[in-house]
Structure 1
Amino acid sequence: MGELFRSEEMTLAQLYLQSESAYCCVSELGEIGMVQFRDLNPDVNVFQRKFVNEVRRCEEMDRKLRDAQLTMSPATFEKLENELKEINTNQEALKKNFLELTELKHILRRTQQFFDEVNSTFNDATRFVAGVISRERIPTFERMLWRVCRGNVFLRQADIEDSLEDPATGDQVYKSVFIIFFQGDQLKTRVKKICEGFRASLYPCPETPQERKEMAAGVATRIDDLQMVLNQTEDHRQRVLQAAAKTVRVWFIKVRKMKAVYHTLNLCNIDVTQKCLIAEVWCPVSDMDSIQFALRRGTEKSGSTVPSILNRMQTKQTPPTFNKTNKFTSGFQNIVDAYGIGNYREMNPAPYTIITFPFLFAVMFGDLGHGVLMTCAALYLVLRESRLVAQKNDNEMFSMVFAGRYIILLMGVFSIYTGIIYNDCFSKSLNLFGSGWSVRPMFDPRVLQLDPAVRGVFNGPYPIGIDPIWNIATNKLTFLNSFKMKMSVILGVIHMLFGVSLSLFNHLYFKKPLNIYLGFIPEIVFMASLFGYLVILVFYKWLAYDAHTSRNAPSLLIAFINMFLFNYNDPTNQPLYRGQMVIQTLLVLIALACVPCMLIPNEIAPDLIWTGLPLPVLLCPCHRGVYTGCVFSLPPLLLQFNFGDVAVHQAIHTIEYCLGCISNTASYLRLWALSLAHAQLSEVLWTMVMHLGLSSRSFGGFVALSIIFGAFAVLTVCILLIMEGLSAFLHALRLHWVEFQNKFYVGQGFKFLPFTFESILEGRFED
């Protein structure tokens, strides 16, 4: 049992990789993902490692692929990149030429109107410049012309209605046509400088109408020809990109794999001959054959005649922890790992969590109807998982729910079971087998005369679950509170005792006998003497009293308190059985006797235990051998033993455990509290919402019922399934982390992180 639920046995291995086959061998190891490379060059700067240039080339190629969103083989990619650069440069030049011609077309179209307005004002000495400027700069441009030229210019402008494309940025801009009339070379120089400062484009414009008309016709022809060339250029560019895009995913993956392999090779050492790379890896012992086969494949692919060598190494270093999982167990393992990565070969709580976690959740969430809805939702995710995985949804919330689909499925199935036990379906009970209670004999005078206890009222227990008659009983809440509270204590004590029992397998495996005698045995005796006894009292009370004698049953809570106070003269609470005082006194004394045993430090190195020295010598406060009372020859390891630190640590652990037994048992009462809260909230929702629609019998009531049922369904999903489900999930998580796992699980190890392409590429690409 201990070996079955422990992490994989790991070993440290040394690899001798020939230079010509090192890349292929590491690539094959990345495919199987079963080795974790150790950095053998921790003091070497990353820029001084052997394969730093290869890593840089891969990063540059990766950058180019991200920018261009295409890829080919390195040679093909370089050729394609140059071709695209040339296409883009030519296309930008063509677009710039097209913009200039378009602006000139608008200038020629507008200038005739400007000339007609100024012919009567200016003489033959009048000069002009025409151009195009951004529309938002017109007011500032006009003020600057007026101030610099002292009002000796005449500006006319008109907006271009259609937007124009900027060839550099691709943005749509709005511009205006302008023409400036002036006299003299001095003003001409000033006007051109102002136009240059405002980034206005100036174009030649003929003075005569005939010349302007001929130029306009030529510009229109050139625009048509240029538009055709632009269309052909864009079509060619799209064909090139589409051809390249067919392999974009493949080459993105190849480049990232190359970068990962070279980065891994930088972790290796190079021997003196410069022909062999030496690597150290952690790997599972069970996968040694697979690793050896991967190295053989890599050697064959590289064409090398010298095989790579794999040797196991002896080491005292703590190996990483590796727990093999599949799509079903990975979710439960993640729950455990969120608390802490287990120590190497420590008992793994995940296999037990597969059952206990959804069951404790269901105890708090138990409702047949809600469990069916949760199970159906989880079944949808499970049955369509291959299609949903292929879709690669980016929604973080959906991804988290999808990763825990098997957890949700088991939570739903267990909720159906506990819903049957509670006989609760959307806050209503199901009367499948007929109630075991009947009130008819209470109204029969003959029965009343014969038996004051009114025999025949109770005809036997309901076959499974709680009798539906309790749904209409006035003391329903009192009965359910008592039942669920005792059930919570029973489940909690069993759960904690099971956690303490698992610690025995850790002590046996790690060869710590002192932990068994001074740790496990006192701990389990302490808990069983007090809280195990309380569970026995609960079962005894259920069996010893029936419906007729239950009114005389003593209170277990008061009896348990009196047990610690040694108070057995309470007239309000009679004993449950004969000899109760003797047994309870003995159990309390046994529990108290366990405390000093737990206070003795037991976290002593196993090497000290097997020295054969007496226990008092091992526990004596010897510091660096300075203690005159010690007459034994102490081993060097014992001289490094700090008794004070260990004693304080053990005292804290003992106090925490003893007080924790009380607080942890009380913590399991959350099973009762949340179960009650869920049932009451479900009942309130039914009474305040669904009952209103069902009470109406008119045709309008049918419409109202449809609306109310929709509201009831939404509130059920949002509040009772999602919010209440999340609350029960978090409380079940806390019960496992704090109340269960701390009894045997340290969780201070470090995770096995193998070199695997799957984890490197996961989530990086989309179909």
Structure 2
Amino acid sequence: MEKFIDNLPAMDLMRSEKMTFVQLIIPVESAHRAISYLGELGLLQFRDLNADKSPFQRTFVNQVKRCAEMSRKLRFFRDQISKAGLLSSVHPVLQPDVELEELEIQLAEHEHELIEMNSNSDRLQHSYNELLEFKIVLQKASGFLVSSNSRAVPEERELDENVYSNDDYGDSVSLLEQDIRPGPSDQSGLSFVSGIICKSKALRFERMLFRATRGNMLFNQASADEQIMDPLSTEMVEKTVFVVFFSGLQAKTKILKICEAFGANCYPVPEDITKQRQITREVSSRLAELEATLDAGIRHRNKALTSVGFHLAKWMNMVRREKAVYDTLNMLNFDVTKKCLVGEGWCPIFAKTKIQEALQRATFDSNSQVGIIFHVMDAIESPPTYFRTNRFTMLQDIKKPILLFTLVLLFHFFCGDVWGLGSWNLLVAGALILIARESKLSAQKLGSFMEMLFGGRYVLLLMSLFSIYCGLIYNEFFSVPFHIFGGSAYKCRDTACSEAYTIGLIKYRDPYPFGVDPSWRGSRSELPFLNSLKMKMSILLGVAQMNLGILLSYFNARFFSSSIDIRYQFVPQVIFLNSLFGYLSLLIVIKWCTGSQADLYHVMIYMFLSPTDDLDHFVAFGSNRSSMDALSKTFYFEEASYGGTVRFQGRAYGMLGTSEMDLDVEPDSARQHHEEFNFSEVFVHQMIHSIEFVLGAVSNTASYLRLWALSLAHSELSTVFYEKVLLLAWGYDNFVIRLIGLAVFAFATAFILLMMETLSAFLHALRLHWVEYQNKFYYGDGYKFKPFSFASITEDED
């Protein structure tokens, strides 16, 4: 067995890469290029040697600020391009063709030009909006002024009565002089203010005017024909043109202040119709000129933005890379001569050659007279774990995603009997669509829900296929059995019996070849039979998976050369688990094969309460004595904890060097942590671990019974939807009722069974996989390997 295992190929997918701690001594003139080449390689994780310094106290803080300022300008260009509705070219993989200093000058010039164009455009647009409002006021207010001339004298008399009936205003409010306005108002003594206001404020505006003037005004309004842009807010709003007739200077002052408070724009409108027409023509001409000027400015601005957008992605990528380089350089320290930078970090052992080649290229390309020193060092801290797809890792622990099929295996026991071959075909189709469009969807920015589905597309496919397989085992298609593998093994004994699945059944041929016999469907024994079947299958599956987890712990202990963990942890755990629950699994299989009527509850309970009693008709299960012997050995092994653990076996103390240069040792020496042995601490730890495993073996096995409970509950739910909704509606000879029943059944299938129940079953399966299974072998107390890599830089770091 040992020879067979040793001859197995290297399992790169099973364990993380071996890591080594390295030190770099880089001349200043080649530091930038060296870090850039290492970023392209993406295989070295730097340590921050300046963790005690704030970001503003580091060496290259000015360069980082320059990159941040350039990022701000590039974001400004991107927002302007998006606002203009233009598309920027995507060239993220192209190498930059300009230096950082030259790019900084170009960005400053483009920003100054764009800001100036935006300022001119805003000023012209403001003038255009004001003239447009003036034109609308001229068109709408002219009608009010024409009709007011005929009512001038009665209105003046009414205003005079209102004015002099108020004692508070008798002294202060006086009529306008005759020479204030020419034309008809010379005779009436009335004045007016015309303007435009947002339609939503018109009612409150009128009330405020009425209260401020004590009713001594006439308010006329007319809505604009279309939405116009407000000159101040630059938003498209509905507006109303108003003309307020009043008498007195004090009333005019109040009205103008109210207009200013409500954001109303006032425009002078002459009473003479000829002057109105002349001003209207001048305004229209001015509007046409401004419109042409604005169009020319927009074309020029779009041309400049298009030119910037062609290089925008490349420039943003360059600035991100430069900022990342200087951030990494800030993690390095100067040596005592201030001529070299010293860096430390982790890298995989296989990457040492690639890193050295990249450093040699950097030395050659920068024309440096001094080479970069690269050597391996010893490290006390634990190395990172190099798993690209693993977020919770431990150094060289067995990689849990390699056994992901166990998760979907548990899932299909939850859900396979719910929809069987029916609704799960829909989920298979959905998963296949996501996989077929993988390249297209991966390049898009998806929403949170869609991104979650896309990330789990392969898991969805596997869960669907496994559930269809389990649907065949349970022989259910939307809770309906089918005879895909032939007829039932039972037939009616009496030709007069009307129900061949309730009474009078006899077995007349071999058992159903695959899955549950369809004759169980609808019988009085259906629920007890399926209860017993699913409960026993849950126990068998749980014990098998827990044994698999313990077996993986053996491979972990063997990999770390820990015979102590094998003898005093792996062996006792196997004996304990299988002497109790392995024995129970054996009884289940024997009962299935022999057709025994023995009560397994009685056997397991009295194995502990009365181990010496005669089992009588349970004699086929009389091997409990040997299991008790094994059980006693288990407690002996578990509690006789040996003072040592896997992580410290075979490690020795070594003489410390006189300097850091003397620490250049073999890569594996980084794993040799020197910690003082403490018997009481190790004993307590092992005792807690032993008690935890003994109690956990019982609770974990009981947790697997949720496979039976949820599977049965989901099956009943599916049956209710089929019989009480679909069949009940189909029993009516009414098209509308049938359509409603079909819609309710489809809704229940899609949203309750396919979505809610799928999520519930997945969470339960994940819990069994994470707790009951992985706690046997998986520790996950490491940290992820995060190398300095340009490929990992995202837009969020701008």
How high is the TM-score relative to the length of structure 2?
0.77
Letter in 1 for 2:342: I
Q: Higher mean Cα deviation, 403-412 or 187-196?
A: 187-196
Q: How is 1:63-212 mapped onto 2 (pairs within 5 angstroms)?
A: 63-69=72-78, 73-102=103-132, 105=135, 110=141, 113=146, 116=149, 124-126=178-180, 132=195, 134=197, 136=201, 138-139=205-206, 142=209, 146=213, 161=224, 164-172=228-236, 174=239, 176=241
Matching of residue 722 in structure 1 with residue 755 in structure 2: yes
- Per the alignment, residue 468 of structure 1 pairs with 518
Distance 1:501 1:532, change over 3 A: same
Deviations along 1:15-54, one digit per CA (max 9) or x if unpaired, are 3344344334333433343222210111112101122122
CA RMSD of aligned residues (A): 3.9
Mapped to 1, the partners of 2:466 and 2:589 lie a distance apart of 24
Q: Residues 428-460 of structure 1, C-alpha deviation per residue, up to 9 Å, x if partnerless?
A: 22323434623356679xxxxxxxxx9983422
**Amino acid aligned to 1:279:** G
1:722 shift after superposition:
2.0
Q: What is the distance in 1 between the residues matched to 2:120 and 2:757?
A: 63
1:498 correspondence with 2:548:
yes
Name which of 443, 467, 470 aligns with 1:390. Answer: 443
1:562 aligns with 2:606: yes
Counterpart check, 1:369 vs 2:422: yes
Q: Does 1:690 align with 2:726?
A: yes
Question: Is the CA contact 1:108–1:216 (under 8 Å) kept in the aligned structure 2?
Answer: yes
Contact 1:131/1:179 (<8 A) preserved: yes
Does the 8 A contact of 2:385 with 2:395 survive in 1? Answer: yes
Offset, 1:106: 6.0
Q: Hey, what does 2:454 align to over in structure 1? A: 402
2:724 aligned with 1:671: no
CA distance 1:239–1:169, change in 2 (3 Å): farther
**Which residue of the partner structure matches residue 358 of structure 1?**
408
Task: Look up the equivalent residue of 1:253 and give its one-letter code.
Answer: N
More off after superposition, 490-499 vs 129-138: 129-138
Change (3 A) 1:667 1:187: closer
Shift of 1:194: 8.4
> Aligned equivalents of 1:348 and 1:611: distance in 2?
25
Partner of 1:759: 792
**Distance between the aligned counterparts of 2:49 and 2:651, measured in 1?**
36
Match of 1:49 in 2: 58
Residue correspondence of structure 1 range 587-666 to structure 2 within 5 A: 587-602=627-642, 604=644, 640-666=676-702
| 1:290 CA drift (Å) | 3.7
* 1:33 aligns to 2:42 (yes or no): yes
Distance of 1:749 and 1:420 partners within structure 2: 42
- Report if the CA contact (8 A) 1:369-1:426 is conserved: yes
2:394 to 343, 351, 355: 343
Provide Cα deviations, 1:287-331, integer angstroms capped at 9, x if missing partner.
334434444565566666765443322223200112244xxxxxx
In 2, the alpha carbon distance for the partners of 1:729 and 1:134 equals 59
Match of 1:748 among 778, 781, 788: 781
- Cα 1:730–1:215 shift into 2, 3 Å: closer
Per the alignment, in what secondary structure is the counterpart of residue 62 of structure 2?
helix
Which one of 617, 620, 629 corresponds to residue 577 of structure 1? 620
Shift of 1:179: 7.5
Q: 2:382 aligned to 315, 318, 330, which one? A: 318
How far apart are the structure 2 equivalents of 1:74 and 1:559? 83
**1:736 aligned to which of 766, 769, 777:** 769
8 Å Cα contact 1:515/1:602 also seen in 2: no
Q: Contact between 2:210 and 2:217, CA under 8 Å: does it hold in 1?
A: no
**Is the aligned partner of 1:23 residue 2:32?**
yes
CA contact (8 A) 2:246 2:252 kept: no
Aligned residue for 1:561, secondary structure, equals helix
SS in 1 for 2:422: helix
**Residue aligning to 2:476:** 424
Pairwise CA distance, 1:705? 5.1
The one-character-per-residue Cα deviations of 1:368-409 (angstroms, maximum 9, x if unpaired) are 334433323222211221122233322x12211111111111
Aligned CA distance change for structure 1 residues 509 and 603 (closer, same or farther; 3 Å): farther
| Contact 1:142/1:155, CA 8 A, preserved across alignment | no
Label 1:129 to 1:50 Cα distance change in 2 as closer, same or farther (>3 A). Answer: farther
Tell me, in whole angstroms, the C-alpha distance in 2 between the residues paired with 1:693 and 1:190.
Answer: 73
Distance (whole Å) between structure 1 residues aligned to residue 254 and residue 484 of structure 2: 101
Q: Structure 1 residues 42 and 212, CA, compared in 2 at 3 Å: closer, same or farther?
A: same
| Residues 600-641 of structure 1, C-alpha deviations (whole Å, 9 max, x = no match) | 4446366986599xxxxxxxxxxxxxxxxxxxxxxx989x54
User: Which secondary structure state, in structure 2, belongs to the residue aligned with residue 577 of structure 1?
Assistant: helix
| Pair 1:432–1:225, CA change in 2 (3 A) | closer
* 1:683 to 1:293, Cα distance in 2 relative to 1, 3 A: farther
Render the CA deviation track for 1:504-531: whole Å, top value 9, x for unaligned.
2222333333333222222211112222
Deviations 1:172-199 (A, max 9, x none): 4646565888789x99999988887887
Distance 1:760 1:602, change over 3 A: farther
- Report the counterpart of residue 535 of structure 1 in structure 2: 585
Q: Residue in 2 aligned with 1:633?
A: none
Question: CA offsets, 1:326-370, max 9 Å, x none?
Answer: xxxxxxx5xxx4xxx232122222212x22111111122222334
Q: What is the total number of aligned residue pairs between the two structures?
A: 699
Bigger mean CA offset, 426-435 vs 114-123: 114-123
User: Sequence identity, in percent?
Assistant: 39
Distance 1:24 1:486 in 2: 65
1:20–1:208: structure 2 CA closer, same or farther, 3 Å change rule?
A: same
Looking at structure 2, the residues matched to 648 and 233 of structure 1 have their Cα atoms a distance apart, in angstroms, of 80
Tell me, in whole angstroms, the C-alpha distance in 1 between the residues paired with 2:647 and 2:507: 69
Report what 2:316 is aligned to: 252
State the one-letter code of the partner of 1:397.
F
**1:226-245 maps to which residues of 2 (within 5 A)?**
226-245=290-309
Contact 2:475 2:481 in 1 (8 A): yes
Please say if residues 50 and 331 of structure 2, whose CA atoms lie closer than 8 Å, have aligned partners that are also in contact: yes
Letter in 2 for 1:741: Q
d(CA) in 1 for partners of 2:693, 2:233: 70
Aligned partner letter, 1:513: S
| Residues in 2 aligned to 1:188 and 1:721: alpha-carbon distance in whole angstroms | 71
Q: Is the 8 A contact 2:220 2:244 kept in 1?
A: yes
Q: Which residue of 330, 341, 353 corresponds with 1:277?
A: 341
Unmatched 5+ stretches in structure 2:
82-87, 89-102, 157-175, 182-190, 497-503, 653-672
Residue ranges of structure 1 left out of the alignment (5+ in a row): 326-332, 445-453, 613-635
2:561 is aligned with 1:511 = yes
Does the aligned pair in 1 maintain the 2:534–2:708 contact within 8 Å? Answer: yes
Q: How far did residue 741 of structure 1 move?
A: 0.9
Q: Assess, with a 3 A threshold, how the Cα gap between structure 1 residues 574 and 17 changes in structure 2: closer, same or farther.
A: same
- How far apart, CA to CA, are the structure 1 residues paired with 2:471 and 2:694? 35
User: What letter matches 1:543 in structure 2?
Assistant: C
What's the secondary structure of 2:345's corresponding residue? strand
SS at match of 2:618: coil
* Residues 106/685 of structure 1: CA separation in 2 closer, same or farther (3 Å cut): closer
Identify which of 467, 479, 486 aligns with 1:415.
467
Q: For 1:763 and 1:609, locate their aligned partners in 2 and report how far apart those are by CA, in whole Å.
A: 45
Distance (whole Å) between structure 2 residues aligned to residue 107 and residue 682 of structure 1:
69
Letter in 1 for 2:331: L
Contact 2:424 2:464 in 1 (8 A): yes
The alpha carbon displacement at 1:485 in A equals: 1.5
Whole-Å separation in 2 of the counterparts to 1:438 and 1:511: 58
CA distance in 1 between counterparts of 2:254 and 2:515 reads 100
